[in-house]
Every structure is written in C-alpha cells, then in structure tokens.
Amino acid sequence: MLHSLTSSLPDAKPAVFEPGLNVALAVRTRNAPSKDSRNAVGKTSFITALDFCLGSNAGPNHLLRRPELEKYEFRLDLTEAGARHTISRSGQAPNAPAIDGDIVTLDILRHQLGRDLFALAGTEFEPSFRSLVAYYLRAESTGGFNEPLRTVSRQTDLATQLPLAYLFGLDINLVARAAAISDSRKNVSALRRATKDPVFGRTLGNTADLDVLTRQVGDAGGGGSSAERGVAA
C-alpha cells in the first residue's frame, strides 16, 4: 500500500494516500476567472514523481532531471510484503535510489518492488516489474490511455501478452513459446530475403532448404499461428 509521496522541493505539497481508490483532482473555486483551468496544476508531475520513485528510467530529458529540479529529493512511503519502507530518489543521482536510507542500484530497487508487490521470483520467462507497474501508471503523452491493453501507443501485441498473462494468472510459458515461434518466423523470413543476395545466397543455400525450415517452424507452432492466437484469446 502507498502511504505518502513527499519532496524536499519547497513548494511541493505532500500527497497522502488512503486505503482504496485515491483520485487526484484540481479544484476551481467559485471566484476563479473563466480563463482558469485545471491544466498545469501538477497532476502529471505528481504521476511522474510517483513513477520516478518506483524505478522508472530517467534519461537526460526527464522532468525531474531539469536543472531547477534535479537537486531535490522525492520520497515514497509504502508498505511492501507487510513491512513499511521509504524509497527516495533525486534527479542528481537517478541511478542511485535509496531504500530506508541505504543507497542501492536501480536493478535492486526494481527487484525488491517486483518481489514484494507482484510476487516476481526472477524465473526465466517472468515479465519485468516495470512492464507490470506500467499498467498502473500510464501517461497520456505516450498513448497510455488510447487502448486498455497497451501502456504505450507503439507496444506490440507480443509485448502486451506476457505482463497481462502474468497479471491475470495465465500460463506465461505459453506466451514465451508464442514469442519464440514469432522470432523464428522472422528469422526465416530474413534468411529467405538473404538467399536472393548474389554473395550471401551461396552461403545460405537455396530457397528449397528454407522451405523445409519454414515447415519445421510451423510444426513447432502447432500448424501456423494457432499458438499465438491462443495466447491472444
């Protein structure tokens, strides 16, 4: 459970979370001029800061790495696996967050959050913590609200299947198999194009050899794309 989001930024207002649904609203008073709106009041910045504390990538153009903001620390107080912790992070040292005052790497932070919030065990085919939490922290600027199954506008179908299968308790091994079949088909298609090259074609063989390989890939997928359709369904 999230408890609060605070900052050392002087004008930052603390956000306190209550059990259940929490909604961030911008309130207009009755005396507010008609030109006043609910824009530019900090709702998007609030989500950005929350995502930042939950281990998001923070490249040079990230909001909290701007010169006027990078020196300030943002702190998220939350309960993980029955224990209360505080995560702190600043734009000056985005790759060195702290858990309860102890400096850790981003990988360690994400591992702990994935373990405690989503029961990730670090097995081979598991989705990443960030791919899961992205379904709870969406940004309108990247198309996060355009489609329910995609957290960004250009996310592929296969990229959505693994985290969604995990969140819904489905068989993630089936998703991994579908992804492997898809990659195999892409590789065969690339080889088929390469056989037409006058130099590489001599090394790769002829298209008849690739036809055999294509049939083998199809057999592995259960006769076409049925495995992929089964996951999507």
CA dist 77 and 17 (Å) reads 10
Q: Which residue, of 101, 128, 155, is where some domain finishes?
A: 155
Could you tell me if 216 and 111 lie in one domain?
no
The pLDDT value given to residue 63 = 93
Could you tell me if 135 and 181 lie in one domain?
no
- Do residues 109 and 36 lie in contact, with contact meaning Cβ atoms separated by under 8 Å? no
Range of the domain at 204: 172-232
Could you tell me if 136 and 176 lie in one domain?
no
Show the low-confidence residues of the chain (pLDDT under 70): 26, 28-41, 185-233
CATH number of the domain that residue 59 is part of: 3.40.50
**Which phi and psi angles does 75 have, rounded to 5°?**
-125, 135
Establish if 160 belongs to a structural domain.
Answer: no
* Radius of gyration over every alpha carbon of the chain, rounded to an integer in angstroms: 23
Could you tell me if 182 and 82 lie in one domain?
no
Could you tell me if 67 and 124 lie in one domain?
yes
For residue 114, give every residue at least 6 positions away whose Cβ sits within 8 Å of its Cβ, in sequence order, or none.
120, 128, 129, 132
Establish if 192 belongs to a structural domain.
Answer: yes
Specify the pTM. 0.72
Could you tell me if 180 and 123 lie in one domain?
no
Going by C-alpha positions, the residue among 21, 83, 8 that lies closest to residue 49 is: 8
Burial level of 2, CB count in 10 A (0-12/13-18/19+)?
Answer: middle
Establish if 133 belongs to a structural domain.
Answer: yes
The pLDDT value given to residue 139 = 83
Could you tell me if 15 and 111 lie in one domain?
yes
Could you tell me if 135 and 201 lie in one domain?
no
For residue 1, give every residue at least 6 positions away whose Cβ sits within 8 Å of its Cβ, in sequence order, or none.
17, 19, 78, 79
Q: How many domains does the chain have?
A: 2
Q: Which residue, of 120, 155, 190, is where some domain finishes?
A: 155
What's the token pair of residue 134?
Answer: 């992205």
The pLDDT value given to residue 113 = 97
Kindly report, residue by residue over 118-174, the tens digit of the pLDDT: 999 988 889 999 999 999 988 888 888 899 999 998 888 878 989 999 999 998 888
Establish if 145 belongs to a structural domain.
Answer: yes
CA dist 28 and 108 (Å) reads 42
Q: Hey, which residues does 216 pair with through a beta bridge?
A: none
Residue 9 belongs to what H/E stretch?
none
